[in-house]
Amino acid sequence: MNVLKMMVLGVMVFPVFGVYASEKENEKINKQVEVKELTKAEFLELVYDYEANPQEWKYKGDKPCIVDFYASWCGPCRMLSPILKEIAKEYEGKIKVYKIDVDKEKALAADFHIQSIPALLWCAPDRKPMMTNGVLSKGELKKIVEEKLLTGEKKN
Question: Is 123 labeled as catalytic in the residue annotation?
Answer: no
pLDDT given at position 28: 47
Around Cβ 138, how many Cβ atoms within 10 Å? Answer: 14
Over 90: is that where the pLDDT of 14 sits? Answer: no
Around Cβ 85, how many Cβ atoms within 10 Å? Answer: 15
Which residue of the set 42, 59, 61, 74 is catalytic?
74
Among the listed residues 32, 143, 52, the one whose alpha carbon sits nearest the alpha carbon of residue 97: 32
Fill in the amino acid letter for 39: T
Percent of the chain at pLDDT above 90?
A: 70
For 136, the 3-state DSSP assignment is coil
Q: What are the E-state strand segments in 62-118?
A: 65-70, 96-101
CB 81 within 8 A of CB 93: no
Structure confidence by residue, pLDDT tens digits, 30-47? 445 679 999 999 999 999
Over 80: is that where the pLDDT of 26 sits? Answer: no
Which residue of the set 38, 47, 65, 77 is catalytic?
77
Q: Which of 2-6, 14-18, 76-80 has the lowest mean pLDDT?
A: 14-18
pLDDT given at position 151: 84
User: What's the pTM?
Assistant: 0.76
Structure confidence by residue, pLDDT tens digits, 80-138? 999 999 999 999 999 999 999 999 999 999 999 999 999 999 999 989 999 999 999 99
